[in-house]
Amino acid sequence: MLLLLTRPRYDRPTHYLFYWAGLFIDEAKKKGVKVIDLDKGKSKKKKFHSYLAKQPIDTVIVNGHGNQKAVAGEDNEIILSTEDGAELLKDKTIFVRACDAGTILGKEIMKNGARGFIGYIQPFMFLIDKNSFNKPLEDELAAPVLECSNQVGISLIKGKSATEAQQDSLDKYAETIDKYSSSEATNSFLLPILLWNRTSQVCYQQQ
């Protein structure tokens, strides 16, 4: 398997996603999966399209800001949109961790022959503890959402289909929601955010 990963880092949300998406590289190493890591300044449209066109990539994980029709790389440069690049995802499985892209972009990617798509149909939200800003992986308030979301990528790296990866992630959300719903749990203010992201996460797969 060959994984193409984008990890821009130029503001607070992408700073967090940069580190949390770095865990995909660790998982890939464990599984013997090769990774093309377009981190920070490498997360540009030209490179992204070039790798998709020239390398035998199976799985794509995109982190960044998005809207219904597009997703961005470093410095908010659009790297993939309904008008530009969807055709390059034919026969690939893609996870887009960005706001809203599941509504229109995801469907366009599927129309262009992708094997599977997972993304969000609403803004992707998580909490940031300002005291943990320099250590995003140790942020106990960001972790519940980002661990559930990361499960998609981890399952894809393990060779699972989009549908299976989606189910694994939804199961993790359910487990986490149960954990924070218990009477002993603190931080129950996380529950609306967990539910929001769980409900917003969609999956499309070729029959």
Partner 1 sequence: MEETNDTQIFSEDIINLVIARLETIPPNIEMSIGNEGSFSIDELKERVKNQDNIGKKMIEMQLAYLRSLGNLPTQELQNAPATN
Binding site for partner 1 (CB under 8 A): 11-13, 16, 65-67, 72, 76, 98-100, 121-131, 141, 174, 177-179, 181-182, 188-189, 191-193, 195-196, 199-200
For residues 57 and 79, which CB has a smaller minimum distance to partner 1 in the complex? 79
In order of 26, 52, 108, the CA distances from 85 in angstroms are 28, 9, 10
For residues 2 and 193, which CB has a smaller minimum distance to partner 1 in the complex? 193
For residues 98 and 114, which CB has a smaller minimum distance to partner 1 in the complex? 98
Minimum Å gap between C-beta 167 and partner 1 is 14
Minimum Å gap between C-beta 127 and partner 1 is 5
Taking the mean position of all CA atoms in its chain, how far away is CA 123? 13
Q: What is the identity of the amino acid at 166?
A: Q
Minimum Å gap between C-beta 66 and partner 1 is 7
Minimum Å gap between C-beta 179 and partner 1 is 8
Q: Closest by alpha carbon to 24, among 176, 201, 128, 146? A: 146
Written as six digits, the tokens of 72 are 């961005």
Written as six digits, the tokens of 39 are 């981190």
In order of 17, 19, 68, 106, the CA distances from 130 in angstroms are 15, 16, 29, 33
Minimum Å gap between C-beta 142 and partner 1 is 8
For residues 53 and 185, which CB has a smaller minimum distance to partner 1 in the complex? 185
For residues 28 and 71, which CB has a smaller minimum distance to partner 1 in the complex? 71
Q: Which residue has the tokens 């892209």?
A: 101
Q: Is there a contact between 141 and 187 (Cβ–Cβ < 8 Å)?
A: yes
